[in-house]
Amino acid sequence: MGRPKISIILPTYNRGYIIGRTIRSVLDQTFKDFELIIIDDGSTDNTKNIVEIYKEKDNRIRYIRHKRNLGANAARNTGIKKSRGEYIAFIDSDTIWKPQKLEIQIKIADNTKENFVIYSRTIRKYTKKTVIVPEDVNQGKKEGQLLDKILVLNFIDMSSILVKKNMIKNSGLFDEKLPRLQDWDILIRLAEKYNFVYIPQTLVISYVLSDSISVDYCKLLKAEMHLLKKYYPLFKQDKRAIAQRYYEIVLSSLKCKRMIQTNHLRGFIKYLPHLDRSLVRSAFILKEILHNRATIKNSEIREDPLF
């Protein structure tokens, strides 16, 4: 088998009941020059049996199994290391692609000599609502240099992107210490080095399932605190970004029912005036709630609340 143009990386864990739909959406792509690398992160259900059914019919599928559960970041990193394609795309096991997804993206990639992160509109289907990304969360700039926008909020679905493999290598692999927000982390690093191209078509549909890690606020809090430390110099350059980070940490602390660290509370109060207007009302409500839990004098609010 020759070297494929695109390597598609699909991490999965105990998703045998749904992964077939995802695999079919990849195999139905109008662009055919790809390999699909499925990394089974130690599943204990029938995932392997389901994958083998498709693998027997299509030799573009490669199946790699971790002996134990290492997490989605480690699974993606395994896929990147084993990939042979010039380009890399990611898809999650609760996601499907429209048939033209890869064809549209590779045409854009082939028509430019620059290194771009190419992404598209995504529909996220929750139990009680549907969200269109990026439109529902980012009304502003969606192309070009996006670091300042991404530092405030991640509005790009990882299952929608196409990048050259060497861009991932230059930016660094997924951070295996992160229990959440791994997509945002790697997009920050990509945005530090590369520009973005946006396709205003819905090419990805994501189904947010009840067993998704996205509903675990304690893991979310841990990830937010980790990223605040990791990128603090970047966040602090933009008061909107640092205000958003402290707001999210305080909110996650409340939802996780954890004690809010004093330094995070200081940061929340210090940068509250710079918070996005759409969040100010809820932020002031949070401030009132917190007032009953801790009192911080203005003299105690230091220049660098993180430390």
Cα-based distances in Å from 305 to 96, 97, 248, 261 = 42, 43, 15, 11
**18 in Cβ contact with 30 (< 8 Å):** no
- Per cent of the chain over pLDDT 70 is 89
Q: Which amino acid is at 28?
A: D
User: Which domains, from first to last, does the chain contain?
Assistant: 6-212 (3.90.550.10), 216-300 (no CATH)
The two tokens of residue 29 are 């792509």
The two tokens of residue 283 are 């932020």
Tens of pLDDT, residues 25-55: 999 999 999 999 999 999 999 999 999 999 9
Instruction: State the pTM of this model.
Output: 0.89
> What is the model's pLDDT at position 167?
98
> What is the model's pLDDT at position 297?
44
> What is the model's pLDDT at position 212?
56
Tens of pLDDT, residues 53-67: 999 999 999 999 999
- Output the average pLDDT for the chain: 90
> What is the model's pLDDT at position 1?
61
Mean pLDDT of 110-125: 93
User: For residues 287-297, b (16+ Cβ closer than 10 Å) or e, as one string?
Assistant: eeebeeeeebe
**Residue 135, phi-psi category: left (phi > 0), alpha (psi -120 to 50), beta (remainder):** alpha
What is the DSSP code (8-state) at residue 113?
S
At 282, is the pLDDT very low, low, confident or very high (cuts 50, 70, 90)? confident
> What is the model's pLDDT at position 258?
85
- Residues 47 and 56: their CA atoms lie apart, in Å, by 14
Other CB atoms within 10 Å distance of the CB of residue 139: 10
> What is the model's pLDDT at position 208?
83
- Residues 240 and 246: their CA atoms lie apart, in Å, by 10
Mean pLDDT of 78-89: 98
Cα-based distances in Å from 149 to 28, 78, 144, 146, 209 = 34, 29, 11, 5, 27
Q: DSSP letters along 117-152, please?
A: EEEEEEEEE-SS-EEEETTTT--S--SB--HHHHHH
Cα-trace Rg, the chain = 20
Instruction: With a cut of 50, say whether residue 302 has pLDDT above it.
Output: no
Helix or strand run (H / E) with residue 234? helix 232-236
